Structure 1
Amino acid sequence: MKNLKVILASAFLATNFLGILKAQETPIQKLEDKHSYWQISARAGYDFPMYKETFRFIDYKGGFMGGLSVNKYWNWFGVEADVDFINNTPEAVDLPGQYVERTLQNTILDYASFKIQKKEISRTFVGAGPAFKWQTENNKFTSELGLMGGVGFIDGGEILVDGVRQNALNDVITYHSGFDKEVVFSTKAQLRFNYFFNDNWGLNAGAYYMNHYNVAESTKNEILDKTYGTKPATYYYVERGKIDNVYDDKIIMRSDIAGVNEPNQMQKMTLQSVGVFAGLSYRFGPKNPAKVVETKAPEVKSYRLVVTAKDKFSGQVIPNTQVLIKDLQGNIIKTAMTDASGKVYIDEINPNNYAITGSFNEISLDPTSTKTAEFIANGDLNKELIYADRNFILKGRTFQCNSSVPLSGAAVYLENKFDAYKKSTMSDANGDFILQLPPNATFELYAKKENYFSQIEMVNTQNYNRDRNLFVNIEICAQETKCGEGIALDNILYNLDKYNIREDAKPELNKVVRFMEDHPGVNVELGSHTDSRGSDSYNQKLSQNRAQSAVDYITSRGISSARISAKGYGESVLLNKCADGVPCSEQEQQVNRRTEFKVICPK
Structure 2
Amino acid sequence: MKRFLLTLILLSVTILAIAQQKEKGDLQIGIQGGASLPISTYKSIGETKVGYYSGFFVDKYFSGNKFGLGIDARYIYNSINRQDTFRFENGYISTDYINKTRFQDYLFTFGPSYKYSVDRFHVEAYIRGGLMMQYFPEYVRSVTYEERDPTGGSITHTQDIMATVNDASNRANSWAGVGGLRFNYMLNKHFALFGHVDYVQTFGEKFGGKSSQFAIERIEETNPILETASVKSVWDHYGDVRETTQTPHKTVQTGIGVKYIFGKKKSPVVIQDNSPKYDEEVKKIALKGLQIVVKDKQTNLALSGVTVSIEGMDINDKSVTDANGQASKVSSIKPGQYQVVGEKNGIKTPILTLTEADFQTSSAVIFKEIYHDDPRFTLIGETFDCATTQNLAGINTVLTHTGSKVNASQTSDAEGKFIYQLDAQSDFTVVANQQGRYSQTEIVSTKGLDRSQTLYVTLKLGVCELVENGEWVLKNIHYDFDKSNIRADAAIILNNVVAVMKQNPTLRIELSSHTDSRGNDDYNLKLSQRRADSAVDYLIANGIAKTRLVARGYGETKLLNHCGNGASCSEQQHQENRRTEIKVLQF
Q: TM class, shorter-chain normalised?
A: 0.3 to 0.5
Output the TM-score relative to the length of structure 2.
0.42
Indicate the structure (1 or 2) with the bigger Cα radius of gyration. Answer: 1
